[in-house]
Amino acid sequence: MDRIRIVGGQRLNGSIPISGAKNAALPLMIASLLTPDRLTLKNVPNLADVNLLARILRNHGVDLAVDGKRAGPAHHIGETFHLCARDIVDTVAPYEMVSRMRASFWVLGPLLARCGQAKVSLPGGCAIGTRPVDLHLMGLKELGAEIDIEAGYVIAKARGGLHGGRVVFPKVSVGATHNVLLASSLARGETVIENAAREPEIGDVAECLVKMGAKIEGIGTSTLRIQGADRLEGAVHSVLADRIETGTFAIAVAATGGDVTLEGARPELLKTALDALTKTGVEVQTTNSGIRIARNGHGIEPVTVETQPFPGFPTDLQAQLMALMTTAKGTSVIRETIFENRFMHVQELARLGADIQLHGDTATIKGVKGLTGAPVMATDLRASVSLVIAALMAEGETMINRVYHLDRGFEQLEQKLSRCGAQIERLTG
């Protein structure tokens, strides 16, 4: 099993290209199930989750071709995927696949809309919480689906196809919004989704669906109005920049000090997180090519932050911010309101010398003078990268075990950091 070895204490300087967003690329790939035509996605990040979803989609009958390398400037431009689901050959998404990646549950809506039936394994809980799917099912029932749960599978049928409906989510859910948005694009008539998640990745998927022939109003707001099409067509779409990767590197620079430009980053996608960083005393500047983050000399001010659905502070940056706060000049408070169990990094950060007290959904972090390297264990994607940030700050060597979590969501993490001066290497095997 691969490990990552980091020797902390180096400042980061230079530039880092920001990849396409994992959490947009996955639902965009799933959108290919809605059309027999070719969907071309550009700027797709090369990640374990993307590759796993490619396998899952192939199992449903999607032909997938990836463009080879192109001559030209060396900067990162992501991969180009051509997906074509001419015929859906299998409407079953088996447990072995769905249990490895929750987002694959989102094939349910598109399969149902296109084929009138689908059998998709329940994803089960995961390290960060129980993560039920009741809202997905509620939404699809409003569109006319009949749903049974048998032996761990959701068995959904829509005799005569899905129809439009009014879906009022009692709670904001990114996944349930994706599932219903995708399905309603190919349902008969109008669907209104109220209390829809407003995450930019949902807007990106909606824009792609518009290119494919759906009519969608309210993109970027909490009320989406979708006129389904009888048939969706092929399209060409470029995956938007990854705001979580952007925020992660911004926090890493804040943590180590230095001066880095995040190329291709879009500040409007993570305003709340950048505001929090500004409050810590870090310089945040929008440039022509992205975002510049700089910290020279002075320490980090403590902050109080609560995770919230977009446009609030993202839960996917909570662990990284906590790593930064471990050496702040005072006490910070971070409240996690989205997932009930997203604090696994706390014990590992403590191994590096952090002083963190947990009470229910709230972590109180007393800034310490410095962290010291130690062996640690990665637990989930974002928790793992918080350990990378802590290790970059720590004195001495940190060995991070179980790094396959990082490979699910960070493209070329070691390369991007080492080019800016970090001492980081992967030990394979």
Which residues carry out catalysis?
126
Which residue in 60, 76, 114, 136 binds ligand EPZ (CB under 6 A)? Answer: 136
Q: Binders of ligand EPZ among 192-221, rule CB under 6 A?
A: 197
- Judged by beta carbon, residue 21 or residue 365, the one nearer ligand EPZ is 21
Residue 131 interacts with ligand EPZ (CB under 6 A)?
yes
Residue span binding ligand EPZ (CB under 6 A) among the ranges 114-122, 150-158, 168-176, 262-270: 168-176
Which secondary-structure segment (H or E) carries 122?
none
Which residue in 11, 42, 100, 102 binds ligand EPZ (CB under 6 A)? Answer: 102
Yes or no: say if 183 and 140 are a contact pair by the CB < 8 Å rule: yes
Question: In the complex, what is the shortest distance from the CB of residue 37 to ligand EPZ, in angstroms, rounded to a whole number?
Answer: 25
The residue behind tokens 């009320």 is 223
Question: In the complex, what is the shortest distance from the CB of residue 356 to ligand EPZ, in angstroms, rounded to a whole number?
Answer: 20
Structure tokens of 144?
């006319």
- Judged by beta carbon, residue 405 or residue 416, the one nearer ligand EPZ is 405
Site string for ligand EPZ, 334-373 (x = CB under 6 A): ----xx----------------------------------
Question: In the complex, what is the shortest distance from the CB of residue 103 to ligand EPZ, in angstroms, rounded to a whole number?
Answer: 4
Site string for ligand EPZ, 300-339 (x = CB under 6 A): ---------------xx---------------------xx
Residue 135 interacts with ligand EPZ (CB under 6 A)?
yes
Which residue in 65, 86, 89, 129 binds ligand EPZ (CB under 6 A)? Answer: 129
Residue 164, CB-side half-sphere exposure with 13 Å CA sphere:
17
Residue 26 interacts with ligand EPZ (CB under 6 A)?
yes
Residue 185 interacts with ligand EPZ (CB under 6 A)?
no
The residue behind tokens 């048939």 is 231
Q: Which residues bind ligand EPZ (CB under 6 A)?
A: 23, 26, 102-103, 129, 131-136, 171, 173-176, 197, 315-316, 338-339, 381-382, 409
